Amino acid sequence: MSTPYPFTALVGQEDLRLALLLNAVSPAVGGVLVRGEKGTAKSTAVRALSALMPEVDVVSGCRFSCDPDSPDPGCPDGPHAPGAFASRAARMVELPVGASEDRLVGALDIERALAEGVKAFEPGLLADAHRGILYVDEVNLLHDHLVDLLLDAAAMGASYVEREGVSVRHAARFLLVGTMNPEEGELRPQLLDRFGLTVEVAASREPDQRVEVVRRRLAYDDDPAGFAARWADEEAAVRARIVAARELLPSVRLGDGALRQIAATCAAFEVDGMRADIVMARTATALAAWAGRTDVRAEDVRQAALLALPHRRRRNPFDAPGLDEDKLDETLEEFGGQDGPGDDGDGDDDPDPGPGGGPGGQPEPDDAPQGDGDAAARPEAGEGGEPQPSGGAGEQSPARSAEPFRTKVLSVPGLGQGAAGRRSRARTEHGRTTGARRPRGALTKLHLAATVQAAAPHQRARGRSGPGLVVRRDDLRQASREGREGNLVLFVVDASGSMAARQRMSAVKGAVLSLLLDAYQRRDKVGLVTFRGAAADVALPPTSSVDAAAVRLESLPTGGRTPLAAGLLRAHEVLRVERLRDPARRPLVVVVTDGRATGGPEPVALATRAARLFAAEGTASVVVDCESGPVRLGLAGQLAGELGGTAVTLDELRADSIAGLVKDVQGSRRAA
């Protein structure tokens, strides 16, 4: 819509609004990652912020938005003559999930290169976003190498392009905002750390607040311009406050006492590296400027910690988000009072609530804070009575998982066409360029250097003697790229009575958690099928959220007979449906069982026939043998043979074991 929803009309979401405004005051904070369930106004808030950003003066004709008062001396369009400039609104540039690297950082202007024979640079989205907002919706679905590029640019304030004979550096300072739904998968910890702040958002559970959200949204949809006009005064007040805070920011004093509190807090919560300390310092300074003060106080440090530290404490997707606020307060109290500015006793230590209300400038007094996005705790495993004898029909309380460990690599061999991942080599549209070839069908990725080399020897014959290049269709070359193919790791877990001894099931859950962690690191989708009693269930349909799989695993009930055939058939059906949805994704089936089959008529024969379906289709598989005790029947090994895969014991699954050296899950099967 041409009229954005007013920022000050947002209901609740105080942390989200505050984090966005702090980045508007000081882009050096490093951007904000907004995590939350669908329908929580994440995108609405970001688009609303763009209307609050003050106008910027730019050098006329500069494609890189240079400031006329201090133009970039290295601007590719420079040097700029003084005088000519224009004012325009700050841009909000959206980076689509399917964007290419060329579109993000820019590339050689092919038209000018071929027509004029010159190396000219065509700017990308990073240049467009300079001095504005770069918004990445569903940033967790963006290819990792693109996330690396944009976060590097955000951290350095510049983009460096070295490709196709072009060497360009240009300024790229922008407010970076990423939004994501954790149910669709997590960002790797290394990428999480590159975002300055993070905010968890969730829909309010207060009926009155939800009513107000619906009322305002309906009013906006009926008359966007009229609705925006009713909030114009509040919008103008917040816009003016952003300008005032920017002007005050250089005068804000960050004393040694506040710095000690920041350092002590980062050390107490054991965050890695020094980026957290720097981000907290910048955030606390911006908070003071937003409140109209020139000194950083203890409450600024506390608020900065709540925004800058939670995502840096998550070293894997199974770590609970958030901070222990009691521990935070104890740390601040222990290291406070050594500098004085936060303890001046003037009785006015509360942050300025902003024009008309909360920290985001909310004018409505009845906007209560939103509920905690992570209030729903993970279910704890029960501590119920004695373990049931093997094969019993009763149900036990779920056993807690053993600690995850680093697993051996379970790879899917072959080179196919698929989405970029990290488990299987693949020919993809993204990834590193490995060569060039003649296009088969439509040309999608031009390999410029190979095209020029193919055309160059024929220029005289084509009557070309001056600058430029005559290129014909036969000269065109397609870039060959190789990345890593996305995989679907489907866990088929035996939860029957034969697996139900508490110590044994704990080890099994620890092994599956370890494999889930491996899948997370390799950007795989995961699914979970369990079988027990008389049937098999899809505990988790294929998803990119491995922490959702971990939650389901922790609460997994056990007991009953072992319907192995039902589990395999249900897994086969899940793969069939997923193949229709995403035929390029390679499946890897991980069956966690002791190999027993006791459920239903002719259980062993049915399980054998079900296993042979996977072998006939060439599905990569591995059986994690959970059989224990001095006498072993070797049933899991037999199942692996029928599946056409291999079997590993729980001990062999560990990467540091002798038997756990890299071993292809398909053994002697040739790469597809």
- Orientation angle between helical segments 232-248 and 275-290, nearest 10 degrees: 120
- Residue-wise pLDDT for 204-219, tens only, equals 888 999 999 999 999 9
Q: Is residue 621 part of a domain?
A: yes
| Predicted TM-score (pTM) of this structure | 0.65
Residues 462-483 have a mean pLDDT of 74
pLDDT of the residue at 439: 81
Most confident of 39-43, 281-285, 619-623: 281-285
Residues 24-38 have a mean pLDDT of 88
* Helical residues (DSSP H) of 291-406, grouped into ranges: 298-308, 325-334
Q: Is 218 helix (H, G, I), strand (E, B) or coil?
A: helix
Burial classification of residue 69, based on how many CB atoms lie within 10 Å of its CB (0-12 exposed, 13-18 middle, 19 or more buried): exposed
Tell which wins on pLDDT, 244 or 370.
244
pLDDT confidence of 241, banded at 50, 70, 90?
Answer: very high
Tell which wins on pLDDT, 651 or 483.
651
Two structure tokens written together for 452 = 């020029």
Q: Tell me, what DSSP letter sits at residue 59?
A: E
Residues 260-283 have a mean pLDDT of 92
Give the CA distances from residue 598 to residues 51, 497, 562, in Å, rounded to whole numbers and listed in that order: 65, 10, 5
pLDDT confidence of 361, banded at 50, 70, 90?
Answer: very low
Residue 524 has pLDDT above 80, yes or no: no
Q: Domain count for the chain, please give it.
A: 2
Q: Is 489 helix (H, G, I), strand (E, B) or coil?
A: strand
Mean pLDDT of all residues in the chain?
A: 77
Lowest mean pLDDT among 75-79, 194-198, 650-654: 650-654
Q: Are 284 and 307 in contact (CB under 8 A)?
A: no
Cβ of 465: how many Cβ atoms within 10 Å? 7
Q: Is residue 288 part of a domain?
A: yes
Measured between alpha carbons, how far is 445 from 623 in angstroms, rounded to an integer?
41
Two structure tokens written together for 123 = 């700017």
- ∠ CA 232-236-239, nearest 5°, is 140
Contacts of 450 (CB under 8 A, 6+ apart): 436, 477, 479
Q: Is residue 545 part of a domain?
A: yes
Two structure tokens written together for 185 = 């998968």
- Residue-wise pLDDT for 52-82, tens only, equals 888 889 998 898 999 888 888 888 888 888 8
pLDDT of the residue at 642: 92
pLDDT of the residue at 55: 86
Q: Is 20 left (phi over 0), alpha (psi -120 to 50) or beta?
A: alpha
Is 253 one of the catalytic residues?
Answer: no
pLDDT confidence of 641, banded at 50, 70, 90?
Answer: very high
Contacts of 472 (CB under 8 A, 6+ apart): 455, 458, 462
Give the CA distances from residue 41 to residues 44, 234, 408, in Å, rounded to whole numbers and listed in that order: 5, 19, 42
Two structure tokens written together for 664 = 């292809």
pLDDT of the residue at 352: 47
Residues 100-116 have a mean pLDDT of 73
Tell which wins on pLDDT, 119 or 364.
119
pLDDT of the residue at 399: 57
Measured between alpha carbons, how far is 277 from 329 in angstroms, rounded to an integer?
17
pLDDT of the residue at 3: 84
Q: Is residue 262 part of a domain?
A: yes
Integer Rg of the chain from CA: 29
What percent of the chain has pLDDT above 70? 74
Measured between alpha carbons, how far is 97 from 99 in angstroms, rounded to an integer?
6
Tell which wins on pLDDT, 294 or 469.
294
Measured between alpha carbons, how far is 533 from 555 in angstroms, rounded to an integer?
17
pLDDT of the residue at 409: 61
For residue 527, the one-letter residue type is: G
pLDDT of the residue at 258: 93
Q: Is 7 helix (H, G, I), strand (E, B) or coil?
A: helix
Q: Is residue 420 part of a domain?
A: no
Residue 523 has pLDDT above 80, yes or no: no
Residue 389 has pLDDT above 90, yes or no: no
Pairing of the two strands 478-485 and 133-137: unpaired
Q: Are 193 and 273 in contact (CB under 8 A)?
A: yes
Residues 94-120 have a mean pLDDT of 74
> Which of 182, 181, 88 has its CA nearest to residue 128?
88
Tell which wins on pLDDT, 384 or 63.
63
> Which of 490, 603, 489 has its CA nearest to residue 538?
490
Q: Is residue 668 part of a domain?
A: no
Measured between alpha carbons, how far is 636 from 229 in angstroms, rounded to an integer?
70
Cβ of 495: how many Cβ atoms within 10 Å? 29
Q: Are 599 and 643 in contact (CB under 8 A)?
A: no
- Residue-wise pLDDT for 542-591, tens only, equals 877 777 777 777 777 777 888 999 999 999 999 998 888 777 778 889 89
pLDDT of the residue at 151: 80
Residue 474 has pLDDT above 90, yes or no: no
The β-bridge partners of 592 are 493, 624
pLDDT of the residue at 120: 75
Residue 372 has pLDDT above 60, yes or no: no
Burial classification of residue 305, based on how many CB atoms lie within 10 Å of its CB (0-12 exposed, 13-18 middle, 19 or more buried): buried
Q: Are 35 and 373 in contact (CB under 8 A)?
A: yes
Q: Is residue 536 part of a domain?
A: yes
Tell which wins on pLDDT, 205 or 372.
205
Q: Are 398 and 500 in contact (CB under 8 A)?
A: no
CA 372 remoteness from chain centre: 20
Contacts of 132 (CB under 8 A, 6+ apart): 50, 53, 56, 65, 90, 91, 92, 93, 174, 175
Residues 19-43 have a mean pLDDT of 88
Out of 294, 309, 339, a domain closes at: 339
Helix/strand/coil percentages in the chain, nearest 5: 40, 20, 45
Two structure tokens written together for 133 = 């907002």
Query: Would you give the end-to-end CA distance of the chain in angstroms?
Result: 49
Out of 339, 371, 396, a domain closes at: 339
pLDDT confidence of 415, banded at 50, 70, 90?
Answer: very low
CA 135 remoteness from chain centre: 14
pLDDT of the residue at 421: 47
Q: What is the CATH number of the domain that holds 320?
A: 1.10.8.80
> Which of 651, 652, 647 has its CA nearest to residue 667?
647
Most confident of 253-257, 333-337, 491-495, 665-669: 253-257
Domain that holds residue 625: 485-660
Contacts of 190 (CB under 8 A, 6+ apart): none
Q: Is residue 640 part of a domain?
A: yes
Lowest mean pLDDT among 195-209, 217-231, 453-467: 453-467
Q: Are 285 and 254 in contact (CB under 8 A)?
A: yes
CA 28 remoteness from chain centre: 21
Q: What is the CATH number of the domain that holds 615?
A: 3.40.50.410
Tell which wins on pLDDT, 517 or 637.
637
pLDDT confidence of 365, banded at 50, 70, 90?
Answer: very low
Out of 339, 367, 398, a domain closes at: 339
The β-bridge partners of 56 are 88
Measured between alpha carbons, how far is 624 from 653 in angstroms, rounded to an integer?
8
Catalytic residue among 169, 188, 260, 275: 275
pLDDT of the residue at 543: 79
Two structure tokens written together for 10 = 């947002």
Please tell me whether the peptide bond between 557 and the residue prior to it is cis, using omega within 30 degrees of 0: no
Lowest mean pLDDT among 33-42, 180-189, 373-382, 425-434: 373-382
Q: Are 239 and 54 in contact (CB under 8 A)?
A: yes
Lowest mean pLDDT among 187-196, 300-309, 630-639, 660-669: 660-669
- Residue-wise pLDDT for 151-177, tens only, equals 888 878 888 887 666 788 899 988 889
pLDDT confidence of 350, banded at 50, 70, 90?
Answer: very low
Residues 423-450 have a mean pLDDT of 66
Measured between alpha carbons, how far is 646 from 655 in angstroms, rounded to an integer?
16
Greatest CA separation found in the chain? 90
pLDDT of the residue at 233: 93
pLDDT confidence of 457, banded at 50, 70, 90?
Answer: confident
pLDDT of the residue at 250: 95
Residues in the chain: 672
What percent of the chain has pLDDT above 90? 24
Lowest mean pLDDT among 462-466, 520-524, 585-589, 656-660: 656-660
Residue 611 has pLDDT above 90, yes or no: yes
